[in-house]
Amino acid sequence: MASHTEAHAEHEHASVATYGKIALILTIITIAEVSAYYIPAWETSSIYVPSMLTMSAFKFFLVVAYYMHLKYEHKLFKALFSGPLAIAGLTLIGLLFLFSKLVIRLGLLT
Amino acid sequence: MTATTTPIAHGDGHAHGGGHHHTSLGLDNRKIAIWTFIGSECMLFASLISTYLIYKGRSPQGPYPHEAWTNPSTGEVMKPILDIPVTSASTFVLLMSSVAMVMALNAVQTKYEPKITTWDKIKGSSKLWLGATALLGTIFLMFQAYEFTSFIHEGLTIRTNLFGSSFFTLTGFHGAHVTVGVIWLLTLLAIDFKRGLEPKDALLVDISALYWHFVDVVWIVIFPLIYLIK
């Protein structure tokens, strides 16, 4: 039963209406990102970088989940994407700790 | 988010017969290949982004991305080199190309469904949406060519400083991927004009769409990291 449900889910894609809603959300987030750059109070605040990364991550998720329809795909495809993505993310963080100012910003090295 | 879903009959990478190359899991091996390729591309772009971030702020001389700098040969004070409004426009163009791409795939998958209204006919035209995607991708490349040309005129090349080296390498690799994607889309468009893309061809369009969306998500990451975060 579970496998039937999973197989059924794999045969579904988002509708055109959903694609339109996601396009609207992506546009609004992009406008918010660019606006933040031009708002001094936001751009100089401590939440600026986290907010930009969060908005970027959310856009990334929407495109991958709905436009690449990974949300509806077989778990093998999810693993083939999320595994290397996790390795890539950890490598990026590791390299930043090793070679950049991130380690100093976090107070781990003076 | 609650998403409305519609069942798709063919071309979704699952076994439907028709002599395709299916694995013991019932999945088409071409789709496994494209997801594996996309996974490897994640690691490629992570290395390029890491390099950019590590070298960020370490250039001993300008031009700089977000700070004014003094041209050593003329003594002239120059503006920060990045042009945020132009790149914001190109970012929007690339995002919209992804929308056109999902519409193209949907049009191929639903080719034989009845088209009653004008909107049904528009959204059911795979030629229109494939052409729009290729056009928007080309416009993005033209924005990038304009940006690169203006940077070179302002004195920033791949050999000028660490920022120039890492910037041109990262965005150049991305631009090369977009170029490959545009050629791929134009090939599909030519096939569509020649014999028409049908639901049985949806997997071909799906694979190119996955590549195209991946190019888009890479830019979604690059745009704030290079252009918006100082």
CA-nearest of B140, B102, B130 to B190 is: B130
pLDDT per residue as tens digits for the range A15-65:
899 999 999 999 999 999 999 999 999 989 989 999 999 999 999 999 999
Q: Does A28 touch chain B (CB under 8 A)?
A: no
Write the ipTM: 0.87
Cβ separation B6–A14 shorter than 8 A: yes
What values do phi and psi take at B73, rounded to 5?
Answer: -80, -30
Cβ separation A56–B98 shorter than 8 A: no
Q: Are B227 and A47 in contact (CB under 8 A)?
A: no
Q: Which of A15, A27, A95 sits opposite B4 (nearest CB)?
A: A15
At B67 the pLDDT is 87
Beta strands at B5-7 and B77-78: parallel, antiparallel or unpaired: unpaired
Q: Are B159 and B207 in contact (CB under 8 A)?
A: no
At B105 the pLDDT is 96
Cβ separation B5–A15 shorter than 8 A: yes
Q: What is the largest CA-CA distance in chain A?
A: 58
- Candidates B133, B220, B227: best to mutate against A (most CBs of A within 10 A) is B220
At A102 the pLDDT is 64
CA-nearest of B223, B213, B225 to B41 is: B213
Residues of B in contact with A49 (CB under 8 A): 229
DSSP string, B123-174: HT-HHHHHHHHHHHHHHHHHHHHHHHHHHHHTT--TTT-HHHHHHHHHHHHH
pLDDT grade, residue A4 (50/70/90)? very low
Q: Where are the domains of chain A?
A: 15-106
Q: Which two tokens stand for residue A90?
A: 């950890």
Cβ separation B5–A12 shorter than 8 A: yes
Cβ separation A100–B53 shorter than 8 A: yes
Beta carbons within 8 Å of A63's beta carbon, 6+ residues apart = A22, A26, B98, B213, B216, B217, B220
At B171 the pLDDT is 97
At B76 the pLDDT is 84
pTM above 0.90, yes or no: no
pLDDT tens for each residue of chain B, 230 residues long: 545 555 554 444 554 444 556 777 788 899 999 999 999 999 999 999 999 999 988 888 889 898 888 887 788 888 899 999 999 999 999 999 999 999 999 999 998 888 889 999 998 999 999 999 999 999 999 999 999 999 999 889 999 999 999 999 999 999 999 999 999 999 999 999 999 999 999 999 999 999 999 999 999 999 999 999 98
Residues of B in contact with A73 (CB under 8 A): 13
Which residue does chain A place closest to B223, by CA atoms? A56
At A23 the pLDDT is 96
Cβ separation B98–A67 shorter than 8 A: yes
Q: Does A75 touch chain B (CB under 8 A)?
A: no
Which residue does chain B place closest to A103, by CA atoms? B54
A-to-B residue pairs, Cβ atoms closer than 8 angstroms: 154
pLDDT per residue as tens digits for the range A97-107:
888 766 555 55
